[in-house]
Structures are given as C-alpha cells and as structure tokens.
Amino acid sequence: MSQSQIAMESISNLPLTKLSEDEQMFRSSVREFAEGELRPRVEHMDEVAKMDPAIIQQCFQLGLMGIETPEQYGGAGTSFFNAILAVEELSRVDASVGVLVDVQNTLVNNALNRWGSEEQKQKYLTRLAVDHVGAYALSEPSSGSDAFALQTRVVDKGDHYLINGRKLWITNGIEAEIFVLFANIKPEAGYRGITAFVVEKSFPGFSVGKKENKLGIRASSTVELILEDCRVPKENVLGEVGKGYKISIETLNEGRIGIGAQMIGIAAGALECAISYTGERQQFGKPINQFQGVQFQLAEMATELEAARLLVYNAARMKDAGLNFVKEAAMAKLYSSRVAERVTSKAIDLYGGYGYVKDYPVEKYWRDSKIGAIYEGTSNMQLQTIAKLLIGGK
C-alpha cells in the first residue's frame, strides 16, 4: 500500500468533527482565552480600529503564534489542524484576532518552515514564535487576482539587493516586524522572475504607508508598504531566486483553509447569538424561537455551518495527512465564505431592528464576514481553481 493510500485510509477512519483528546484540550484553552480576555475588548478594538497590544502579547504567551513551528525554534510543534481550530475559536469571538493568528501561522511561519534555510529559521522562526508579528506581502495596486503581475522590482547590487515598489492590502502591516515579501528580480522572465524575500521593518528604505479604514475586521491592520531602494541582504532570499511564484501558490493553498476556519468561526458566533436572542425575545406572548418560521431559519443556519465546517476540517486533515488538498481548500474557502455571509445576514434578520445597531453583536459578524469572499483568492478564483482541477484532473 502506498503512503498516500495509507494516509487516505487513516483520514477516512477519523470522523472529521471528532477531535482527539489533545485537540479538545487545545480548543478549550483557546476558547477560554477568547471568552475571558478577548470578548471584553472586542467592541472597543472595533471602534478604534486597533488591536490591543495585550491581546497580541497573550497570543504569543499561549503559543498561538507558532502552532506548527517546531519546538527547536520555540514553537508548539503541533499540527496544522490545531492552527485551524485556533483560528475558528478566535474568530467566533473576533475575526480580527482570528486573522492575526491565521496569517502568522498559515502564511508567514509556513513559508519560512518549508522554504527557509536553517540560518533563516534560527533567525526568524524563533522571533516569530516569541514576540515578532509577521506579515505576507504579495498584493499590489495592479496585482490582485492576477497575482503574478507584480511591479515591485529588484536590482542586484552585488552583496545586497535593492527593492522598489508598493504593496497593498497587507494584513498585520502595522504590528509586523517581519515580512515575507514578493518582488520580480527578472521581469523579462515573467512569473519566473518572482522571488520571495524576508524583509525586516527596520531595513533602510522600508516604510509603512496608508492604513485602510475598513468595513469589517477593523482591529486587524491593513496597510500599504512602500519600498524605496529598500536594502535587503543576499541571504534573505527565501527559497531560490525565481521560485517565488511556487512559494506564493503553495503557501496560499494552506492559507485558504485558514480563511475557511475564520469564516466558520464568524458563522458560529453569529448563530450562537441568534439562538440566544430568539429564546429571550418575546412576541405574541412567547419567545420567538417557538415559532416554526424562526425554528426553520435556525435549522438552516446550523446545517449550512456544519457543512462548511466539514469542508474546512476535511481540507485541514488532508493537509496534515500529506494528501493533495488544493481542490478541497478552494471548496472550503468558497463555501465557508458564502455560509458566513448568509448566516450572519439571517442573524440580523432574527434580531430585527436590534440587529442593525452596534449595541448588539450580529452586525459586526456580518461586516466581518464580507472579506472572506475577497482576500487570499476571490470566490471567482476559487471557482476557477475547482473547475480546472475537475476538468484537467491536475
């Protein structure tokens, strides 16, 4: 029996939503933190559009910023699935903190762990596990869904590189000290010139530009990066020169599962609020959850959430089992983002007028849900990926 067959058999024997004892304990610890420390700060962080530094510090102290990072580099050395559980549980309370942890683990740490040299791992993974926030800098003003239309350029100066250009929509940009950044070192070669670099905020020529004023996930910083003759040491190339396109594609495949986890967390939080509120709200002499029309809406919301959770968990289990999960990751992100929008919108409906004001939590869940269909690959790009894999079989 091949390794892939063994892996498939092992994953098929594990109910996707059934957690091991260690996974249950991990989920409980994250939920305790989210309820006890995060929830009291959510409203204020959303209002001022800024992450509380104490929350970031506690995420490090709890080991949430280096979940898959091997213990030898200061991380927890656990599974990708645990990272997904953490993002889900945090997003159930606040999707801004969910995406902070998601980007750190599924994009930045993942890229360094897979493609970094031993020296880079010792230098950067150790910091990212303890007290340094990371960010992933791929998007540009003219490079979104067409991710390889990068205009950021690299000039080889012998003992170092100079990078010039702008990056846009960079999550964690305010808090981050370490950036996995993509630029083209050989434009005439097209995407084969794209190279990944590890760039520190302190490097000469690097600056953070405009911070976006967003609809949702407001406490999560989204910024422009400006590189003006940014001096980057030669040893800070991540992987190989010209292999950045491969790093970006494969990293984002895992990142999409993380966004799926964020979306099911948002939907779960909204559903819990709707169930609680409809049990308290009295109309015509009884709680509104005693009316069949309301009951059916709650049942639809719960069913869609469970289906989305199964897709996300399946993709995460496949990743941990070493199976090809690209199609499943695209499906998970596509469907979970749609479910998050529908569930949060229905929650507002069930709250009535109260759902439309900031005194109640469901309007924030709805605002936070919208980004799921946009970042780390739009829904149309997920459909394209799924279709190509179905038709082409690759």
What are the residue numbers of the active site?
376
CA–centroid distance for 75 within its chain: 18
Query: Measured in whole angstroms, how far is the alpha carbon of residue 4 from the centre of its chain?
Result: 27
DSSP 18: P
Least Cα distance to 373 among 142, 215, 182 occurs for 215
- Per DSSP, the three-state class of 164 is strand
| Closest by CA position to 266, among listed 383, 354, 356, 345 | 345
In sign, the C-alpha dihedral spanning 123, 124, 129, 133 is: positive
**What is the C-alpha separation between 31 and 361, in angstroms, rounded?**
18
Q: Which amino acid is at 333?
A: K
* Closest listed residue to residue 313, CA positions, set 8, 26, 17, 86: 17
Q: Which of 193, 326, 161, 188 is nearest to 251 (CA)?
A: 326
